Structure 1
Amino acid sequence: MKLIFGLAALALAASGGMVHAQLEKRDVHIAVGGKNAFYYLPLTIAEQLGYFKAEGLEVKISDFAGGSAALRAVVGGSAEVVSGAYEHTISLQGKKQFFRAFVLQGRLPQIALGVATAKAGGFRSFKDLKGMKIGVSAPGSSTHNLVKQLLTKAGLDPLKDVAIIGAGIGAGAIAAMKSGQIDAISNVDPVMTKLELDGAVKIVADTRNAKGTQEIWGAPLPAGCLYAPIEFQQKYPNVVQALANAIVRADKWIAKASATDVAKVVPETYLLGDRALYLFSFNKVKEAISPDGLISDAGAKATLAALKAFDPGVAKADIKLEQTYSNAFARKANAKFK
């Protein structure tokens, strides 16, 4: 009997070894800008629940002040994969840098713009943003792009008519708003809900739900995702598949989870010292989180159209949209985790 169990154990170990041996490598370095935000919740869930390890990966996650900073880490070679906004893959192609998104974390942008309560009384339209100091997670990030879109629609110059200030994502952004360092803020939850409930801002643009996203962008835009240089994906396809598996598994876990379930899994620091706020914030953004990791063709097209309105590099470029995302990995992941 001992011999039978021993042989079974050897067979199990060998089969596990074979699965992991298919990976071209096990160590992967992911750069993210604002890991504590709901925008990247699937990344944290995959990490905390061991989904990356279950795929045979040893994942290192470096957290930066914003998505553009995380992107620079990968462009500069200090990290390999970005957990960031899908739109960056399009902007990069306009600069002849070829990155591709391969699994989705958020199906809506989840960004809100709030004006300081003291200034909100005189706010009538986005033209009233002129002359303001506007805080974003980091210049060049998706929170900045929302501001650019609104300013452009209002006939203002995003480069000249406002001052953009990097405020990060978290307690620093809240402090910048409450201390009067900035007049308005474009950020994600739980930051925006905290400021709203504390009476520090009036929300004037909101993409945390489908209705608000439709009003601003005209379509639901894919948001947080994992993306990497196309060359990396060609060299390490099994690693990319393993990453996609972990994120899709996390997406599906979140779709069935309650706010309390999520709060039990994430690090305590994510709660910003207010558990009730975190629970409330999650329920506001849950619909914005992807249930399956798939990027919609319509969403990709709408993102390109939006970027063309305020990004000269994209407007002038011949963008090959099909090169900016692939659903092949996410489809395989969905077949694995039904």
Structure 2
Amino acid sequence: MQRRSVVLLGATTLAAPALLRAQALEKPKLTIAVGGKNLLYYLPLTIAESLGYFKAEGLDVTIVDFAGGSKALQAVVGGSADVVSGAFEHTLIMQPKGIRLRAFALQGRAPQVVLGINPKTMPGFKSVADLKGKKIGVTAPGSSTNVLANFVLAKAGLKPSDVSIIGVGAGAGAVAAMRSGQIDAISNLDPVITLLQRSGDLKIVSDTRIVAEADKAFGGPMPAGCMYAPQSFIDKNPATVQAIANAIVRADKWIQAAGPADIVKAVPESYLLGDRAVYIDAFLASKGALSVDGAIPPEGAATALRALQSVDDSLKGGKFDLAAVWTNEFVKKANADPKIRR
């Protein structure tokens, strides 16, 4: 009986820190929406979940995966999700509509979106202008992959209406669409891109996995995957938001110190798309574009707005409060926390 009491006491002691943190949170049980959780774009989210960083902060997180970021955005706007793991630019897109969203922890410091053409259906491809009248696959219409495709098209003098945009998801469906010739080009992310490239089913046209190239293309730092939420949620649940930021920053730092083998062990088998070597190559290609500390670059909102306005006339001429769509308040506290700095 005495031995059993000691065992129970030990278990309670181990669980106590997370239990105490949960009691201090306004909303310990919450839902996070994401569009394409298997993508390296959202790797910090997966790591925070798989390595128990959310639980360590006292959070009971349910992650709901959608076909693309625009669907995840709809979930939080509609009230079925509390927080989104999604593209930074969605915070700007929704501001003119009176929907106040704010990013509070960064996962990616470059978009990591790659636009490539299908060598089978476009063997004579010479320039982006050749995409006029063609079918371009994106994760979901209105997602960040769609935005980047529009941005590249605009630089070549093409309008969004000059092509057909088709949602193909962020996994095996996207790969199948390219290999079967259903689409002539694709705007997607890793590991989909690396898998198609290695099998000869993709010729890269624009690659924003390389931070320097992304900065040059967009004219400044372009924040990508981030954690964002309605301002009302942040105001009502500051301790909960801090806990989320702590978990993501911890994941960001772990990824930067991890090797490919560590990453493969930490993600679900389904993420590998049947080829461990491809996933490792994809991780190495994307690692430099992932955030090192969760901080959002101060110039990021202005860069994102310029990119959006270059492809969406409805956003031109409007007044935007750039300071209202991001904050590093929670990330600064996370980086100052001794348990996260390790």
Aligned equivalents of 1:168, 1:44: Cα separation in 2:
18
Distance 1:13 1:96 in 2: 42
How do residues 1-338 of structure 1 correspond to structure 2 at under 5 angstroms?
17-158=19-160, 160-336=161-337, 337-338=341-342
1:185–1:4 CA distance, 2 compared to 1 (3 A): closer
Residues matched between the structures, number: 336
Q: Secondary structure at the match of 2:306?
A: helix
Where 1:204 maps in the other structure, the secondary structure is strand
Q: Give me the identity figure in percent.
A: 56
- CA–CA separation in structure 1 for the residues paired with 2:106 and 2:209: 16
What amino acid is the match of 1:106?
G
For the Cα contact (< 8 Å) 1:91–1:313, is it kept in 2?
no
Contact 1:90 1:314 in 2 (8 A): no
Q: TM-score, normalised by structure 1?
A: 0.94
CA distance in structure 2 between the partners assigned to 1:203 and 1:12 by the alignment: 50
**Cα distance in 2 between the residues matched to 1:64 and 1:90:** 21
User: C-alpha separation between the residues in 2 aligned to 1:192 and 1:9?
Assistant: 45
Report the 3-state secondary structure (helix = DSSP H, G, I; strand = E; otherwise coil) of the residue aligned with 1:118.
Answer: coil
8 A Cα contact 1:84 1:224, kept in partner: yes
CA contact (8 A) 1:117 1:200 kept: yes
Distance, in Å, in 2 between the alignment partners of 1:133 and 1:8 is 60
Partner SS, residue 98 of structure 2: coil
CA contact (8 A) 2:18 2:57 kept: no
RMSD of the alignment, in Å? 2.1
- Displacement after TM superposition at 1:14 (Å): 6.7
Q: How far apart, CA to CA, are the structure 2 residues paired with 1:6 and 1:166?
A: 52
Query: 1:7 deviation in Å?
Result: 9.8
CA distance in 1, matches of 2:141, 2:6: 62
Deviation at 1:265, TM superposition (A): 0.7
Shift of 1:10: 8.2
Q: Offset of 1:198 from its aligned partner? A: 0.5
Q: Which amino acid aligns with 1:244?
A: A
**How many Å separate the matches in 2 of 1:62 and 1:10?**
30
- After superposition, the Cα gap between the structure-2 partners of 1:14 and 1:52, relative to the gap in structure 1 and judged at 3 Å, is closer
TM-score (norm 2): 0.93
Gaps of 5+ in 1: none
Equivalents in 2 of 1:8, 1:171: separation in Å? 45
Displacement of 1:193 in angstroms is 0.8
How far does the alpha carbon of each residue in 1:151-175 deviate from its partner, in whole angstroms, 9 at most, with x for none?
11222111x2100000000100000
Aligned AA (2:306): A
- Secondary structure of residue in 2 paired with 1:233: helix
CA spacing shift, 1:146–1:5, aligned 2, 3 Å: closer
CA distance in 1, matches of 2:272, 2:57: 28
In 2, the alpha carbon distance for the partners of 1:7 and 1:64 equals 41
Instruction: Find the aligned partners of 2:316 and 2:162 in 1 and give their Cα distance.
Output: 21
Task: Give CA-to-partner distance per residue, 1:191-222, whole Å, 9 cap, x none.
Answer: 01111110011001100112331342222311
Change (3 A) 1:23 1:134: same
Q: How far apart are 1:30 and its partner, in Å?
A: 0.3
Contact in 1 for aligned 2:69/2:140 (Cα 8 Å)? yes
Give the C-alpha shift of residue 12 in structure 1: 8.0
For residue 120 of structure 2, give the secondary structure of its aligned residue in structure 1: helix
Write the distance in 2 (CA, Å) between the matches of 1:308 and 1:170.
Answer: 29
Specify every segment of 5 or more residues in structure 2 that has no aligned partner in the other structure, as ranges.
none
Change (3 A) 1:4 1:146: closer
